[in-house]
Structure 1
Amino acid sequence: MLSVKSLVPVLGLLLVLSGCGFYFAEAIIGGQFARPGQFPYQGSLIVNNNYQCGCSVISKTTILLAAHCVVNTHANWGRVLLGTSDLSVGDASIFYYNKIIIHPNFNQATSDYDIALLRLSSAIQFSDRIRSIRMAPAGDNYLENSTAITSGFGEIDHLKHWQTRLKYAHIQLWGRRYCNSANIPLITDRMICAGDPLGRQGPCTGDSGGPLTLGGLLIAVSSTGFGCGTPYRPSVFTYVPMVRAWIDANINA
């Protein structure tokens, strides 16, 4: 584990799913800037010196994120930044990882099972700045219109303006009455929808893999969406209770 000595390049990765209007990689528009230590589980994945995705600490040696953030990459290409609310300050801690575990059913074309783990090369010493977050148990269900929190670094509007500070937004969960395959292309049981119906705040380019939390629990991982702040179009997240058994089976693998 090292300390950051200079500004980390923050170049987002944008991938488009042809024909469906989906995008990979999200960040926060609207919302608020986070206080130092407010989200101690929030991390950033850096690959080849470029900002790649958000991520979450789930144990002293394991990071949870979206599979598309690390597919076709190697462990020696990247590192994880933890313990900062501003990438430009240089107060983050850097952790290297030596193993990437991608869900075997991950489908890059549809984003189904978009979940992965990183095994850190050295254990985190938890502090006020860096801690793990508890995950939602398998089988949990969360009510439509419940308010959850999404957080991340990245673009802050549809004009691709970028900043280095951690932001968060309160967004509501969308139930299956709307979030189903008839209304949302490619939706599966492993996904949930969330967002501001009017598009005023929520994920944008730069924070895929980051957390969606409710009641202090990590309930989902940011996966795909329909642009930034698009009214009546939600962001789509991989639902932790539906993949919790796989996470538990591989957290110490």
Structure 2
Amino acid sequence: MEIIGGKEVAMHSRPYMALIQKKDGLLCGGTLIKAKWVLTSARCYDKKLTVVLGAHSLSKPEKVKQTFTVKQLFPHSCFDNETGVNDLMLLELNITAQVNKFVSMLKLPKQFKDIETKTQCTVAGWGTTNAKNKVASDVLMEVNITVIDRRTCNEKYYHLNPVITDGMLCAGDKRGKKNSCKEDAGGPLICNNEFKAVTSFPPKSDCGKNPGIYTLLTPKHIQWIQEITGGDA
């Protein structure tokens, strides 16, 4: 997904952000949740993934970057590519990340109240910054977006295809000028300073026009994460 209408993130201010690179050059985002585990979108699946932690720029070498291959991929067993339900995947890194001020974990939610309509949230990524421009951003970008009522999102933007379920979140900008899009998939959605959802899939049309869809982190999702990674997440 791309960041539309956003701004450059202060360098290394999001040390939990993971840059995921596919073998075809396409990008995804992710979140370091344990020193050897990254949470992302199941849509980012690829047989050969590279994970970079501590990154700000794509092109600059940056001594603080840590690069990994993926030992194992764990797409959610109930992920449905058509409906977008359970759009989550865990990546086990080949070695343990060195945690420091440039690379650190983001805590998973412990409270699971639904996110209220009109709540301001933030999403970040390295995707293109213009819906018509397919070139990835060289630096990490972020944008503030607003949660939209599911019924409104279903009727006005998606017309029940896909259906925005209780396990999803719809968020964007009523003026159609702020959003995430394709190459930001897998990155975290932060609401009220807490990790609440994972960027799922983009609108079927202009990313700047329609809101994005996010996978809410529910108690069942946290249980799945714990089962895969071992112990508390």
TM-score (norm: length of structure 1) = 0.82
Q: Secondary structure at the residue paired with 2:196?
A: strand
Name the counterpart of 2:59.
88
Q: Secondary structure at the residue paired with 1:122?
A: coil
Q: Given that residues 29 and 229 in structure 1 are in contact (C-alpha distance below 8 angstroms), is that contact kept between their aligned partners in structure 2?
A: yes
- How many pairs align? 222
Q: 1: CA distance between counterparts of 2:42 and 2:189?
A: 16
Deviation at 1:161, TM superposition (A): 4.7
Letter in 1 for 2:50: R
Name the counterpart of 1:19.
none
Write out per-residue CA displacement over residues 9-57 of structure 1, whole angstroms, 9 at most, x where no aligned residue. xxxxxxxxxxxxxxxxx12011110111111111111121613311111
Name the counterpart of 1:175.
149
Deviation at 1:151, TM superposition (A): 0.2
RMSD between superposed Cα atoms in Å: 1.9
Q: Given that residues 138 and 244 in structure 1 are in contact (C-alpha distance below 8 angstroms), is that contact kept between their aligned partners in structure 2?
A: no
Q: 2: CA distance between counterparts of 1:35 and 1:136?
A: 24
Deviation at 1:184, TM superposition (A): 4.3
Q: Secondary structure at the residue paired with 1:64?
A: strand
Letter in 2 for 1:30: G
Please, which runs of 5 or more residues in structure 1 have no aligned partner?
1-25
Name the counterpart of 1:191.
168
Q: 1: CA distance between counterparts of 2:171 and 2:27?
A: 22
Give the direction of change, closer, same or farther, for the CA distance of 1:138–1:183 in structure 2 (3 Å limit): farther
Name the counterpart of 2:8.
33
With 181-190 and 242-251 compared, the bigger mean Cα shift is at: 181-190
Letter in 2 for 1:250: I
Q: Aligned match of 2:39 in 64, 72, 84? A: 64
Q: Given that residues 107 and 114 in structure 1 are in contact (C-alpha distance below 8 angstroms), is that contact kept between their aligned partners in structure 2?
A: yes
Q: Given that residues 80 and 94 in structure 1 are in contact (C-alpha distance below 8 angstroms), is that contact kept between their aligned partners in structure 2?
A: yes
Deviation at 1:244, TM superposition (A): 2.1
Q: 1: CA distance between counterparts of 2:92 and 2:111?
A: 22
- Within 5 Å, give how 1:105-184 maps onto structure 2: 105-137=78-110, 139-162=112-135, 163-180=137-154, 183-184=159-160
Q: Aligned match of 1:79 in 47, 50, 53? A: 50
Q: Given that residues 45 and 78 in structure 1 are in contact (C-alpha distance below 8 angstroms), is that contact kept between their aligned partners in structure 2?
A: yes
Deviation at 1:134, TM superposition (A): 1.0
Deviation at 1:204, TM superposition (A): 2.4
Please, which runs of 5 or more residues in structure 2 have no aligned partner?
none
Give the direction of change, closer, same or farther, for the CA distance of 1:188–1:36 in structure 2 (3 Å limit): same
TM-score (norm: length of structure 2) = 0.88
Deviation at 1:201, TM superposition (A): 1.3
Q: Given that residues 49 and 78 in structure 1 are in contact (C-alpha distance below 8 angstroms), is that contact kept between their aligned partners in structure 2?
A: no
Identity %: 26
Q: State the 4+ residue runs in structure 1 displaced beyond 6 angstroms.
A: none
* Bigger strand share: 1
Name the counterpart of 1:13.
none
Q: Given that residues 138 and 240 in structure 1 are in contact (C-alpha distance below 8 angstroms), is that contact kept between their aligned partners in structure 2?
A: no
Q: Secondary structure at the residue paired with 1:98?
A: strand
Name the counterpart of 2:189.
212
Write out per-residue CA displacement over residues 156-176 of structure 1, whole angstroms, 9 at most, x where no aligned residue. 111125321110001111123
